[in-house]
Structure 1
Amino acid sequence: MPSILQRCKEVFHTDNLYEVIGVEKDATQKELKKGYHRKSLAFHPDRVSSEDKEVATRKFQLLSQVYSILTDDDRRREYDDTGEVDEESSGDLDRDWTQYWRLLFPKVTAKDIEEFAEKYRGSEEELGDLKKAYVSSEGDMETILDTVLCCTHEDEERFAELLRDLVSTGELPDFDNFSKENKKKKAARIKKSKQEAAEAEEAAKKLKLGDDHSSLVAAIAQRQTSRARQADDFLSQLEAKYCGGTGSGAGGGKKSGKKSKR
């Protein structure tokens, strides 16, 4: 089985654990929790359609494992000193990461998760993340769409327009991957997005959603509600409501602008 660092490289396009969480190397425990909370809202299996659940669950579990490493003083010190992670003695493979998340954030509802996504889209924070993803991927749109929080293939044209403007003003470099992308590659990506949209629409019909739904989150929330009655609603409000309103919502947590030295 690949190591956690290898899996992070594959899934999050970086093997720097601090960058996975979105914080600096000297982040405090509070900053780590905010960073983990922010990222986990985007990947939580309860906010995605059934078609995307497997990928989201994989990201969510890996993100949670990274957070557990960085909040363990001994494991964090070992990682900082050696750049390696001792996985054999951790017991991470047997952990229920969803339950782990619920214990850390017991009062966040599925509706709150969707509201976070809505506030994030079009925000200055999203723009900052988009620019960072563009530079780190050298303009590869597939990687950009896989990196920026809460985005789907429907955001591609919006992202492309923003990036073209930033490139034209000289704020961002002009990468061939972006400005001279292979037409077949782009066509394949568009085809995939249309297929995903059709699958989502079919799922919505099966769940009897109205025409005014903006995503499948509403349906997922309905299913969660029935289960939650038996478990005292494991989600209920965003971090602002249980951390005193400091650094809440989409603005919580520092973003890493550079790789930490190991």
Structure 2
Amino acid sequence: MPALLESCVELFGTQDLYEILGIIKEASANEVKRGYYKLSLKVHPDRVSSDAKEEATQKFQALGRIYRVLSDTNLRALYDETGEVDDEIDTEQCKDWADYWRILFKKVSVNDIREFETKYQGSSEELEDLKASYLEYEGDMEQILENVLCCTHEDESRFAEILTDLINKGELPEYEAFTKESKKQKSGRRKKAKQEAEEAEHLSKELGLGKENGDDALMAMIKQRQQSRGQQMDNFMAGLEAKYCKPQPKKGKKGKATKKK
């Protein structure tokens, strides 16, 4: 196994372990764990296509090693003081990092998701995520809806109103992809959302699953949908967690920015 810091430079472009996890050097143990969790969801090997699995696996393993350093008081102190890590200690316990990840993070239940949605929607955290997605995807509403947590097409008008207000206040730049989006694009998005809803309803009836069946029915329905589409995902719950915790940004054409004068 290559030296950790060398792997970090190759895979993430830096050997700063804190920067990779998106946290500060003074981060608490919980913040370290959360940073690891969010990033590991993005690169989880079960969530990428077959041609990207090798790189995703390397990143996922490197993140496990990073977390092991920063979650251990002595190893973290050594890194903070010298900028080095003890790779001998780091490789002593070569393990299945997917199993290690599962030990650290419990599986997400439907009730967990619903509880999170209730607290998240309309919160300051949602607002910050909305602004970040707007900037990252340069106003592409389709990408924004794909990447802001817990949202559906029903949130589009609410998001559009919030973003327009922020643009008018000068808090966000103006992007053509947002301000000049065609009616055809908006209509296509609504049509796609309607088709997906109808598909879910049809499948639910086909499987005989109703609200009275509770969480098990919902899980069964989602699993069935997953199988019918032939998705390349060996771990269903990892995908579910990623959807509701921190979605992986999807590649897409970004809109061109128009600077506001």
**Could you state the TM-score of these two structures normalised by the residue count of structure 1?**
0.52
1:3-14 alignment runs, 5 A limit: none
Equivalents in 2 of 1:68, 1:166: separation in Å?
38
Q: Which residue pairs with 2:64 in the alignment?
A: 68
1:219 aligns with 2:215: no
1:87-98 alignment runs, 5 A limit: 95=96, 97=98
Structure 2 gap segments, 5+ residues each: 1-7, 71-75, 84-90, 224-236, 238-244, 246-261
Note the alpha carbon deviations across 1:133-164, whole angstroms, 9 max, x for none. Answer: 11222211122122212223332222112111
CA contact (8 A) 1:200 1:216 kept: no
1:62-211 alignment runs, 5 A limit: 67-68=63-64, 70-73=66-69, 95=96, 97=98, 99-106=99-106, 109-210=109-210
Equivalents in 1 of 2:31, 2:203: separation in Å?
38
Equivalents in 1 of 2:130, 2:118: separation in Å?
16
Equivalents in 2 of 1:104, 1:126: separation in Å?
25
The 1:143–1:67 alpha-carbon spacing in structure 2 relative to 1, beyond 3 Å, is: farther
Equivalents in 2 of 1:201, 1:42: separation in Å?
29
Equivalents in 2 of 1:125, 1:217: separation in Å?
30
Q: Which residue pairs with 2:32 in the alignment?
A: 32
Deviation (angstroms), 1:103:
0.8
Q: What's the secondary structure of 1:162's corresponding residue?
A: helix
The 1:208–1:105 alpha-carbon spacing in structure 2 relative to 1, beyond 3 Å, is: same
Equivalents in 2 of 1:117, 1:42: separation in Å?
20
The 1:111–1:29 alpha-carbon spacing in structure 2 relative to 1, beyond 3 Å, is: same
Aligned length: 195
**Which of 1 and 2 has greater Rg?**
2
RMSD over aligned Cα atoms: 5.1
CA contact (8 A) 1:154 1:193 kept: no
Equivalents in 1 of 2:37, 2:200: separation in Å?
26
Percent identity between matched residues is 46
CA contact (8 A) 1:21 1:66 kept: no
CA contact (8 A) 2:121 2:150 kept: yes
State the AA in 1 paired with 2:122.
G
Equivalents in 2 of 1:125, 1:148: separation in Å?
10
State the AA in 2 paired with 1:132.
A
CA contact (8 A) 2:126 2:148 kept: yes
CA contact (8 A) 2:43 2:60 kept: no
CA contact (8 A) 2:64 2:97 kept: no
Structure 1 gap segments, 5+ residues each: 9-15, 45-52, 82-88, 225-233, 235-249, 251-262
CA contact (8 A) 1:140 1:177 kept: yes
CA contact (8 A) 1:139 1:175 kept: yes
Question: Greater relative contact order: 1 or 2 (C-alpha under 8 angstroms, separation 6 or more)?
Answer: 1
Deviation (angstroms), 1:187:
2.7
Equivalents in 1 of 2:38, 2:117: separation in Å?
10
Q: What's the secondary structure of 1:154's corresponding residue?
A: helix
Q: What's the secondary structure of 1:71's corresponding residue?
A: helix
Equivalents in 2 of 1:211, 1:6: separation in Å?
49
